[in-house]
Each structure stands twice: as structure tokens, then as C-alpha cells.
Amino acid sequence: MRVGRAIGWTLVVGSAVVALGRPLALQAQTAQPPAHPAAAVSGDATYTRDIAPILQRSCENCHRPDGAGPMSLQTYEEVRPWARSIKTKTGIGPKAGVMPPWYLEKNIGIQKFKNDPSLSDKEIAMIAKWADSGAPRGNPADMPPPRRWDDSSKWAIGTPDVIVKTTEIVVKANTPDWWGEIPRVPVGLTEDRYVSAVEIKEINDVDTGGGGRATVGGRYVFHHMIWSTAVLHDDGAAPDPLALDDDSTGWPVHEVGRNPDFFDPKSARLLKAGSSIVSDSVHLHSNGRDTRAHLEIGFKLMPKGYQPEYKRALIALGNGVDIDISPMEANQELHAYAVLQEHTKVLSFEPHLHAPGARMCLEAIWGYNIQTLNCVGYDHNWVRGYHYDDDAAPLLPKGTILHIIGYMDNSPANKNIPDPRNWSGSGNRSVTNMFIDLGNRVSLTDEQFQREMAERREKLKLTRNSVVRGCPLCNITPAAAARGSQQQQP
Ligand code: HEC
């Protein structure tokens, strides 16, 4: 029985369920949970051999001096006192509070992501076993060499080619939420370049223990920044960011605790010579103590001479208007839909909820084919974007309906809620609600769509019987695909 379940699990989590083509693969909601992870580990577990490599890979970037985490986890002496807490924090599943902060559910949907820091079930079981057996040090000779952290390792995109700092601001301990404009800062580019990745960090003077709040608003004060880069007019005015001309480029919204964005290599974004960072929509949320903060924006550039092939897709997916959340109730569902007007490659999934948000799922409906692409937990102190690996990014034909399902927890169990006895509706404050998928997507012409699918078929060695989560037409040979899409489009 255990073996059968384990096999079912492996099949369902694969982004490409090759050859077996079992209908089970499409029924994400019925995916089996894994066998209890503890079952996976045999023998003893020691710090030097088993635990240190995991901490070096997935924890030290924050848990080291100067990192974002409250304590360093680089030596046995530093780690030992935290053994029980590390077991708890790594073992609570993909929801608020888990370490590292990455909430992807592993028993549903696509599983291949860029910069995925998460631990495998086996590693989680290994940590538990180690903590439960007295957290032994083990043989010092097994210890991997210390991982070196220098300035370049501060950036998940690699050393940026351009770093821009916004003006410093102070957010007082007990100030209400604030929205507004921040001073414009020149980027300093003298020629037009295209950007392959962008990362934003909040740098503040909160000590690593976090802020003084029991509810939402831990470490960071920049809740979000909607921003663009623009070549300012002679009178200092910024061009309309919605005009979609070359003088202004919109960028993914920065959010609290957010990880970086990678653009499709065929759809890098333009950073104009002479442009400035422009934002008239910064939202600040106090973290319970006086905090001095600024943002650092790091851009990674494409080689000179690069030109993009794909267009950015502008799809609004979500509901920011009529949200109705009852008091004292967990697990309340919200739904929103969008019909794709073009063939679309989905580069990332990024739930944007507020304090009551606990989870979001993304589903693609194409004819009678309904696939859960992903479900992720949510913690409003750590807004994460999930960037698909290049050969796992969903390729969806036009006419597909994207469906997001939000799960809101307005019960005393959600620590981010100041008072769950209140009804809660839409709003901009961190304690009211939003329900949006801010993921990046590109739209593809017929030809580009066919080419992307052909490459996928080749790379993943797909056959007619393959069932590919996120690519309902991937298993169809090119001639049949052309016919199929004419006949079957809804
Ligand atoms: C992206 C940065 C980051 C990463 C990666 C990360 N942590 Fe953390 N960790 C934090 C922060 C910040 C806190 C403080 C609580 C919070 O803000 O969620 C924390 C809190 C903790 C705590 C609780 C400390 C306490 O005061 O009770 C433990 C234990 C922990 N982390 C262990 C780990 C382990 C083990 C890993 C790797 C498997 C890890 N963390 C990865 C940033 C990180």
C-alpha cells in the first residue's frame, strides 16, 4: 500500500506525467498526500553529515550575520540550541511560518521552479530525526567546508549590473498606513538596455529580531510599490505608464518580503537611457517601531544588442472590489476568472492577498480539461512569486480560462489578523483584503506558440499519450494541433 501511494505521488508531482497518461494526473484535487516523511529516513542523522549541507543551501543566506534572519545557523554551536525549533519550523507544511519562507504545495501541480529553496520530504524527515535523537554533532570530518558569503551573494539574481537606491524614509511606530509618491531617482543608464531579472530589497534598521508587532507587519515597512521607469519630460512630469510607449516601462509590483523576478529570455524589459524610477503608489505599513528604510533595486541586463521577440501579456486576474469575508471563520473561498485572448506562456504565479490570506490555487480550464496548475500557502509577511522553470512554464491556448481560488482565514488561528471578530472587505490597508494573481505572462503568436510546444515536446520527449500539466496541447503533433485548435476553441 505504501509503495502504491508513493508511486502515485511521484506521478502527480511531475510537471510532465509521461507515457502513463493516467486520468488521475488531471485530478489535482484528489492528489494523494505523501507517505509520512519520517518513513523515508533510515539510519542515524548527524549535524556534520546530514544537517549542515541543508542549512548551507537553504537557510544560511538569511541565517548568518547580516542576513535577514534572527539568528545565525552556520556552526554546530549556533545551530544546536535551535534544533527543536528548526524541526518545528521546517515541518509545518507549506503555510505561514514555515522555513524557508516558500509555500508551494508539493502534492499538487507543477513542481519545477527557479530558485526553489524548499526542503524535500526526506530532508524534513532527516531534520526531525536528528532533533529527536538529541541533535548529535557527528564526525567533524564529515563537515562540508563553510559556505562563503560575500556581497554578490546578497542578490538572488547574481551581482546586478545596475543598483538604484530610493530615498530613505522613516515610518513611525504607531503611524497609520500611508500611500503616496516617493522622490524620483535617476537610474543612470546612458544607453537603452534590456533587463533579464530584477530584484528589490528593503534595507532598514530593524534589528534581525523583527518589528514590534504581534500582527501583520514584522520586519519590513514597504508593503508595496507600484513602479515604472520613465524618461521624464522637460518639465519633470512622467509619461503615462499605461501608454505602453517606449518612454515608460512598468515593472512587477514590489511587495513585502518579496523574491526576485526573471523575465522570459525572449521577453526582457526595456530600461531606457536617461530614465528614472517613478512611483506614485508606495504603501507603507508600520511594523510597530520607528523604522528608517529604503529600497535597493537591482537590474540584471541582457547583452548589448539584444531585442525581445515576445510581447508582455496584460491580463487582469483577480478581484479587488467586492470581497466579503465573514468574521471568525477559517477557509473562506474567493473566486476570480480571466479568459485568455491570446496564446499565453505563464512565467510566474504570485498570489497577492492581505492579512486574512492563507492560500491560493491557480487553475487552467480549457474545454473539459481542468488542471490545477499550483496551490500555494500565503503569509502576508513574505509575499513570494513562484517562477516556473523554463520547460515547466504553462503554455495555454487562447480561450483558456484562468481561475484563481483564494482561501481566507479570518479566525483567531491567523496571527496576521488584529481582530477576527470584524467582518472584512476590500481595501488597500494591509488588514483589509486584496485577491489578485500578479504573475508575469507573455502572449504568443500562433507560430511562437507552436514553436514553444515543439521545443517542449522535444525536450521532455513527449508522446501522444503524455499528459502535461499546464500544456493541454503539448502532446498533439503539429498538424493535429492546428486542426484541433480550430475545432475545439471555446
Ligand atoms: C528568506 C530568508 C530566510 C530563509 C531562507 C530562512 N529563514 Fe528562518 N527566519 C527568517 C526570518 C526573517 C525569521 C523571523 C521570523 C519571520 O520573519 O518569519 C526566521 C525565523 C526562523 C526560526 C524561528 C526563530 C525564532 O525566533 O523562533 C527558525 C527556527 C528558522 N527561521 C529556521 C530556518 C531554517 C532551518 C531555514 C532553512 C531550512 C530557514 N530558517 C530559512 C528568515 C529566513
Same-domain pairing of 343 and 468:
yes
**Which of 120, 149, 178 is the C-terminal boundary of a domain?**
149
Same-domain pairing of 296 and 321:
no
User: What is the grid cell recorded at 136?
Assistant: 548529535
Closest ligand 1 atom to the C-alpha of 68?
Answer: 12
Would you say residue 5 lies in a domain?
Answer: no
Grid look-up 500539466 returns 469
What CATH number is attached to the domain comprising 220? 2.60.120
Closest ligand 1 atom to the C-alpha of 219?
Answer: 17
User: How many A from CA of 85 to the centre of ligand 1?
Assistant: 10
| b/e map 200-216, b = 16+ CB within 10 Å | bbbebebeeebbbbebb
Would you say residue 13 lies in a domain?
Answer: no
Same-domain pairing of 216 and 250:
yes
**Which of 149, 170, 191 is the C-terminal boundary of a domain?**
149
User: How many A from CA of 120 to the centre of ligand 1?
Assistant: 17
**Average pLDDT score, the chain:** 85
pLDDT above 70 for 38: no
**Which of 285, 309, 333 is the C-terminal boundary of a domain?**
309
Q: Which of 51, 63, 256 to mutate to test the pocket of ligand 1 (most atoms within 8 A of CB)?
A: 63
Tell me what percent of the residues of the chain surpass a pLDDT of 90. 59
Same-domain pairing of 139 and 180:
no
Angle, CA of 164, 279 and 206, to the nearest 5°: 60
What are the two backbone dihedrals, phi and then psi, of residue 30, each rounded to the nearest 5 degrees?
A: -100, 10
User: Mapping DSSP to helix (H, G, I), strand (E, B) and coil, where does residue 480 land?
Assistant: helix
What CATH number is attached to the domain comprising 418? 2.60.120.230
Closest ligand 1 atom to the C-alpha of 58?
Answer: 37
User: How many A from CA of 142 to the centre of ligand 1?
Assistant: 25
Same-domain pairing of 345 and 420:
yes
Q: With beta carbons less than 8 A apart as the criterion, state whether 356 and 434 touch.
A: no
Same-domain pairing of 94 and 49:
yes
Same-domain pairing of 194 and 104:
no
Same-domain pairing of 358 and 471:
yes
Return the residue whose CA atom lies nearest to atom 35 of ligand 1. Answer: 86
pLDDT above 60 for 265: yes
Same-domain pairing of 264 and 232:
yes
User: How many A from CA of 61 to the centre of ligand 1?
Assistant: 10
User: How many A from CA of 98 to the centre of ligand 1?
Assistant: 8
Distance CA 468, CA 475 (A): 7
Give the number of domains in the chain.
Answer: 3
User: How many A from CA of 164 to the centre of ligand 1?
Assistant: 27
Distance CA 302, CA 251 (A): 16
Distance CA 184, CA 178 (A): 18
pLDDT above 70 for 478: no
Distance CA 47, CA 139 (A): 9
Distance CA 19, CA 436 (A): 35
Q: With beta carbons less than 8 A apart as the criterion, state whether 470 and 477 touch.
A: no
Return the residue whose CA atom lies nearest to atom 31 of ligand 1. Answer: 99
Distance CA 276, CA 453 (A): 38
Would you say residue 169 lies in a domain?
Answer: yes
pLDDT of residue 287: 82
Would you say residue 121 lies in a domain?
Answer: yes
Would you say residue 132 lies in a domain?
Answer: yes
User: How many A from CA of 63 to the centre of ligand 1?
Assistant: 7
In this predicted model, which residue has the larger pLDDT, 385 or 10?
385
Would you say residue 394 lies in a domain?
Answer: yes
Closest ligand 1 atom to the C-alpha of 117?
Answer: 5
Return the residue whose CA atom lies nearest to atom 24 of ligand 1. Answer: 70
What confidence tier does 241 reach under pLDDT thresholds 50, 70, 90?
Answer: low
Return the residue whose CA atom lies nearest to atom 9 of ligand 1. Answer: 69
User: How many A from CA of 401 to the centre of ligand 1?
Assistant: 37
Would you say residue 203 lies in a domain?
Answer: yes
Same-domain pairing of 98 and 171:
no
Return the residue whose CA atom lies nearest to atom 3 of ligand 1. Answer: 62
User: How many A from CA of 196 to the centre of ligand 1?
Assistant: 29
Q: Which of 47, 51, 57, 59 to mutate to test the pocket of ligand 1 (most atoms within 8 A of CB)?
A: 59
Q: With beta carbons less than 8 A apart as the criterion, state whether 356 and 329 touch.
A: no
Same-domain pairing of 225 and 317:
no
User: How many A from CA of 372 to the centre of ligand 1?
Assistant: 29
Tell me the pairing of strands 424-425 and 369-377.
unpaired
> For the residues 181-201, what does the mean pLDDT come to?
94
pLDDT above 60 for 245: yes
Same-domain pairing of 166 and 142:
no
User: How many A from CA of 105 to the centre of ligand 1?
Assistant: 19
pLDDT above 80 for 33: no
Distance CA 360, CA 131 (A): 32
Model pLDDT for residues 394-444, shown as the tens digit of each residue: 999 999 999 999 999 999 999 888 899 999 999 878 788 899 999 999 999
Closest ligand 1 atom to the C-alpha of 119?
Answer: 38
All residues at 6 or more sequence positions from 63 whose CB lies less than 8 Å from its CB, including other chains: 55, 69, 71, 72, 73, 74
> For the residues 282-294, what does the mean pLDDT come to?
88
Q: What is the enclosing helix (H) or strand (E) of 436?
A: strand 435-437
User: What is the grid cell recorded at 117?
Assistant: 529553496
Q: End-to-end distance of the chain based on CA atoms, in angstroms? A: 41
pLDDT of residue 151: 65
Return the residue whose CA atom lies nearest to atom 42 of ligand 1. Answer: 69
Return the residue whose CA atom lies nearest to atom 26 of ligand 1. Answer: 70
pLDDT of residue 397: 97
Give the Å distances, CA to CA, from 26 to 19, 109, 359: 14, 9, 21
Would you say residue 4 lies in a domain?
Answer: no
Instruction: Name the residue range of residue 114's domain.
Output: 36-149
- Measuring from each residue's beta carbon to the nearest atom of ligand 1, which residues come in under 6 Å? 58-59, 61-63, 68-70, 82, 85-86, 89-90, 99-101, 117, 119, 210, 218-219, 381
Region for 83 from its dihedrals, namely left if φ exceeds 0, alpha if ψ lies in -120 to 50, beta otherwise: alpha
Give the Å distances, CA to CA, from 84 to 12, 127, 295: 32, 9, 34
Model pLDDT for residues 370-393, shown as the tens digit of each residue: 999 999 999 888 889 999 999 999
pLDDT above 60 for 37: no
User: How many A from CA of 367 to the centre of ligand 1?
Assistant: 43
Closest ligand 1 atom to the C-alpha of 97?
Answer: 18
Q: Please state the pTM of the whole predicted model.
A: 0.83
> For residue 298, with 0-12 CB atoms within 10 Å meaning exposed, 13-18 middle and 19 or more buried, which class applies?
buried
pLDDT of residue 393: 97
Distance CA 169, CA 180 (A): 12
Nearest CA among 169, 139, 152 for reference residue 45: 139
Return the residue whose CA atom lies nearest to atom 7 of ligand 1. Answer: 100
